[in-house]
């Protein structure tokens, strides 16, 4: 393969070779729990991190390794770690950089599950989130103190489909010596490669657009290789000797992919949210068609948004691909290929009509997911964001009148026809 293959080529070939034993062209599902060592010295070198290789599928598996290398290549990172879900990836990221009593800054406009994880579950570890407005850089900077360890944003925010100024927030992070973590689930590297805009770590729910078929759970974190983990002394898991590995200093040993290593050997090893080889295989298969699917998603979503904007029962449409949308300039700057598949719109008659509209759809699937080949719909205020207060729902872009669509790759005329018949009934 040429030295600098294109994105479409990487989506199919990165990380993969024909199986050396059987010649199988597709990456096999290595459905095994453990792996045989060559001899005692080989085993010792693997356990001591002096050599790379397979020990136990909870820590690493050959099918998983191909998935990791492919995603790292697509995102332009140095290494990746695939795990059981996007939430698991976030847990391992923060476990590696946080200590009890530490805090991090997160954009308010996030997936409802992340808001819940950060605001509630993380309190059990004595990790604390401080919320910021992604349109107001001072809301990030003013909350940073000596115990702040990171800034977290979504490149394309769920559920509203709004773009975030990654470079501006990266400048704040760099000024204060903090890593910028970017959830790129909604955009995928097809539309945005956050590392090119100043991100240090990228995280995905592979369950969504990367896998793309709604059939397998998975998450991944990508090490950008851009952050100096030793400079400030604030990240001891990377910069100080690790007793588990005979005093090895991970950043000094592994350099620009030390963060991914640390998440694997200090987090995944002990917490255990391993991805199954079968799910890794399905996600790899999905990624092969990612560029084709994302373009169709974007084309269909733009057509649907334009149609909804003209409908007399629709109060507003929030889709950055529309030229008069407040977020359009950011979309053009960061994602000229398209504005993604997920967006929200508001119904004029509010909460009850929103519920009836969702229930009246026939081709759309009413479920709590995005990024499927199929068109999906949800009323966030009554489902994914119902644990939030009304004020929090509105701040997260999930107010009572809001409906979220994840536009699929069906014929766009059929998508619009289904929306039309349900709006007529609602």
- Tell me: do 276 and 309 sit in the same domain: no
3-state secondary structure the chain: CCCCCCHHHHHHHCCCCCCCCCCCCCCCCCCCCECCCCCHHHHHHHHCCCCCCCCECCCCCHHHHHHHHHHHHHHCCCEEEEECCHHHHHHHHHHHHCCCCCEEEEECCCCHHHHHHHHCHHHHHCCEEEEECCCCHHHHHCCCCCCEEEEEEECEECCCCEECCHHHHHHHHHHCCCCEEEECCCCHHHHCCHHHHCCCEEEEECCCCCCCCCCCCCEEEEECCCCCCCCCCCCHHHHCCEHHHCCECHHHHHHHHHHHHHHHHHHHHHHCCCCCHHHHHHHHHHHCCHHHHHHHHHHHHHHHHHHHHCCCCEEEEECCCCCCCCCHHHHHHHCCCCCCCEEEEEECCCHHHHHHHHHHCCCCEECCCCCCCCCEEECHHHCCCCCCCHHHHHHCCCCCCEEEEECCCCCHHHHHHHHHHHHHHC
- Identify the burial level of 323 via C-beta atoms within 10 angstroms of its C-beta, where 0-12 means exposed, 13-18 middle and 19 or more buried: exposed
- Tell me: do 208 and 149 sit in the same domain: yes
Please give the Cα distance from 426 to 350 (Å, whole number): 11
Final residue in a domain of this structure, among 263, 286, 309: 286
- Tell me: do 373 and 256 sit in the same domain: no
- The dihedral region occupied by 237, where left means phi > 0, alpha psi between -120 and 50, and beta the remainder, is alpha
**Predicted local confidence at residue 381, as pLDDT:** 76
- Tell me: do 270 and 335 sit in the same domain: no
- Tell me: do 157 and 272 sit in the same domain: yes
In CATH, what number is assigned to the domain containing residue 418? 3.90.1150.10
Domain count for the chain: 2
**Predicted local confidence at residue 364, as pLDDT:** 97
**Predicted local confidence at residue 403, as pLDDT:** 92
- Tell me: do 247 and 281 sit in the same domain: yes
Full residue range of the structural domain in which residue 327 is found: 290-425
- Tell me: do 30 and 100 sit in the same domain: yes
Whether residue 2 lies inside any domain: the answer is no
**Predicted local confidence at residue 1, as pLDDT:** 52
**Predicted local confidence at residue 294, as pLDDT:** 98
Final residue in a domain of this structure, among 259, 286, 313: 286
In CATH, what number is assigned to the domain containing residue 104? 3.40.640.10
Whether residue 1 lies inside any domain: the answer is no
Binned average pLDDT, 10 residues per bin, the chain of 426 residues: 84 93 94 95 93 94 98 98 98 98 95 92 98 96 98 92 96 98 98 98 98 97 98 97 96 98 97 98 98 98 98 95 96 96 90 87 93 93 76 76 94 98 92
**Predicted local confidence at residue 287, as pLDDT:** 98
**Predicted local confidence at residue 408, as pLDDT:** 98
**Predicted local confidence at residue 2, as pLDDT:** 57
- Tell me: do 249 and 219 sit in the same domain: yes
- Tell me: do 209 and 147 sit in the same domain: yes
Final residue in a domain of this structure, among 286, 304, 330: 286
């Amino acid at each position: 393969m040429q030295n600098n293959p294109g994105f479409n080529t990487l989506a199919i070939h990165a990380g993969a070779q024909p199986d050396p034993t059987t010649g199988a062209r597709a990456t096999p599902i290595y459905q095994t729990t453990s792996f045989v060592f060559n001899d005692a010295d080989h085993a010792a070198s693997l356990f001591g991190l002096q050599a790379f290789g397979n020990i136990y599928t909870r820590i690493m598996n050959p099918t998983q390794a191909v998935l990791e290398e492919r995603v790292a290549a697509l995102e332009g990172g140095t290494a990746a770690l695939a795990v059981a879900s996007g939430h698991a990836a976030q847990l391992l990221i923060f476990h590696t950089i946080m200590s009890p009593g530490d805090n991090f800054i997160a954009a308010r406009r996030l997936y409802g599950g992340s808001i819940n994880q950060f605001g509630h579950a993380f309190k059990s570890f004595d990790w604390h989130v401080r919320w910021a407005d992604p349109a107001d850089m001072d809301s990030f900077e003013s909350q940073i103190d000596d115990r702040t360890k990171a800034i977290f944003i979504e490149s394309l925010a769920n559920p509203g489909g709004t773009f975030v100024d990654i470079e501006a927030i990266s400048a704040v992070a760099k000024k204060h010596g903090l890593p910028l973590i970017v959830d790129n689930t909604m955009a995928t590297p097809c539309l945005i490669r956050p590392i090119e805009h100043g991100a240090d770590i990228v995280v995905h729910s592979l369950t969504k657009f990367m896998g793309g078929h709604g059939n397998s759970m998975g998450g991944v974190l990508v090490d950008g290789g851009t952050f100096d983990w030793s400079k400030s002394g604030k990240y001891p898991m990377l910069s100080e000797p690790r007793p588990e590995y005979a005093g090895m200093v991970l950043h000094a040993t592994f350099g620009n992919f030390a963060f991914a290593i640390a998440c694997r050997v200090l987090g995944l090893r002990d917490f255990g949210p391993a991805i199954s080889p079968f799910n890794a295989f399905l996600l790899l298969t999905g990624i092969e068609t990612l560029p084709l699917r994302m373009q169709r998603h974007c084309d269909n979503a733009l057509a649907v948004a334009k149609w909804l904007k003209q409908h007399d029962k629709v109060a507003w449409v929030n889709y950055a691909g529309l030229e008069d949308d407040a977020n359009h300039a950011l979309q053009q700057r960061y994602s000229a290929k398209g504005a993604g598949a997920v967006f929200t719109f508001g119904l004029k008659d509010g909460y009850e009509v929103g519920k009836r509209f969702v229930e009246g759809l026939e081709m759309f699937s009413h479920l709590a997911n995005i990024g499927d080949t199929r068109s999906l719909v949800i009323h966030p205020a009554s489902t994914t964001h119902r644990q939030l207060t009304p004020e929090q729902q509105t701040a997260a872009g999930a107010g009572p009148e809001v409906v979220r669509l994840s536009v699929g790759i069906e014929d766009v005329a059929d998508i619009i026809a289904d929306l039309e018949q349900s709006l007529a009934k609602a």
